[in-house]
Amino acid sequence: MAFVPPVTHVPQPRASLEAQDLAREIEEVVVDFQKRRPRTSNRDVRQAMNIVGSRGGMGISRHGSSVTTMISVAIGLLVAFGLALFLFFAR
């Protein structure tokens, strides 16, 4: 019997330039919102992105909710990293 190694990494398709630009703009909006309302948590951001993703009028399917979650987590991590850098260098 031949050994077939398991698939360990499935490369994600490259996002279009429009999707990348939209992601940058969304990130900027989230960062600005969190500056204006510092009590906004990463959980709030994820919930808001899920609300947007669940609205059918934008053409986003339920399949897109996992993508929305990943984008939300990535934005949250970027914001947290930026805040950590700010706090570290603000001393």
Domain boundaries, the chain: 17-55+62-89
34-90 confidence digits (pLDDT tens)? 889 989 888 888 888 888 777 765 555 555 567 777 788 888 888 888 888 888 887
- Alpha-carbon span 69 to 30, nearest angstrom: 14
Query: Residue 10 pLDDT more than 80?
Result: no
Q: How many Cα atoms within 13 Å fall on the side-chain side of residue 56? A: 0
Residue 62, pLDDT score:
54
Helix, coil or strand: residue 85: helix
Q: What is the pTM of this model?
A: 0.48
Residue 56, pLDDT score:
60
Contact (Cβ atoms closer than 8 angstroms) between residue 30 and residue 64: no
Residue 17, pLDDT score:
86
Higher pLDDT, 8 or 19: 19
Residue 63, pLDDT score:
57
Query: Residue 29 pLDDT more than 70?
Result: yes
